């Protein structure tokens, strides 16, 4: 990472918030239709994935053509060096300083009574996004806990809100 960048990327957080809300609305509706628990799980898992990715995506430049034929460069996209839906793998890619701060918040969270670490909680639901998309396939789990995954997504959201912004420049992290 050559230039200074800030994390988490709020554009990604905003999208994660939308998937979290979608999952929560589907959970409420699944009382009347149990099949809605699968799309709820997909949305909750995707929200958790995006909250984690908000700490590892990097800003990039895109070429923008002008009428005169000259090409200008400007910030325009975010890219991730990790192309995975695995919550555990994404968490492992987060900068150590940021992970340590997240872990310290986790130890005071209600999830710590069920899981010894955030990494363990993420491992439990690591492939939920992939598996819940096709519940009729052989290797898909029969039962998921939307409540626990919702708690994980809410924890990641609240941690982003409480820890604030980090700046990383030449591998040096500042708040």
Find out whether 48 and 87 touch, Cβ atoms under 8 Å: yes
- Banded pLDDT at 70 (limits 50, 70, 90): low
Would you state the pLDDT for residue 172?
81
pLDDT tens for 27-61 read 999 999 988 998 999 999 999 999 999 998 876 65
Would you state the pLDDT for residue 84?
83
Largest CA distance in the chain: 62
Would you state the pLDDT for residue 33?
92
Would you state the pLDDT for residue 73?
46
The yes-or-no verdict on residue 88 having pLDDT over 80 is: yes
Give the CA-trace dihedral at 50, 144, 114, 127, to 10 degrees: -40
Residues 7-26: what's their mean pLDDT?
95
Q: Dihedral sign for Cα 135, 140, 142, 148, please.
A: negative
Q: CA nearest 2: which of 43, 45, 61, 76?
A: 61
pLDDT tens for 110-155 read 999 999 999 999 999 998 888 888 878 777 765 668 899 999 999 9
pLDDT tens for 92-122 read 999 999 999 999 999 999 999 999 999 999 9
Alpha carbon 7 to chain centroid, angstroms = 13
- pTM, rounded to two decimals: 0.85
Q: Are strands 71-79 and 58-65 parallel, antiparallel or unpaired?
A: antiparallel
């Amino acid at each position: 990472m050559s230039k200074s960048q800030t994390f988490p990327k709020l554009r990604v957080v905003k999208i994660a918030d939308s998937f979290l809300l979608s999952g929560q609305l589907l959970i409420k509706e699944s009382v009347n239709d149990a099949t809605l628990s699968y799309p709820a799980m997909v949305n909750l898992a995707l929200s958790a994935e995006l909250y984690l990715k908000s700490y590892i995506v990097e800003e990039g430049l895109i070429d923008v053509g002008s009428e005169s034929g000259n090409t200008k460069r400007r910030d325009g996209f975010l890219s991730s060096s990790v192309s995975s839906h695995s919550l555990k793998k994404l968490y492992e890619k987060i900068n150590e300083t940021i992970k340590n701060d997240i872990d310290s918040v986790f130890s005071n969270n209600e999830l710590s009574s069920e899981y010894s670490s955030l990494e363990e909680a993420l491992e439990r639901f690591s492939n939920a996004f992939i598996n819940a998309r096709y519940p009729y396939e052989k290797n898909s789990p029969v039962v998921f806990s939307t409540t626990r995954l919702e708690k994980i997504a809410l924890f990641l959201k609240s941690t982003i809100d409480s820890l604030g912004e980090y700046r990383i420049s030449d591998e040096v992290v500042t708040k």
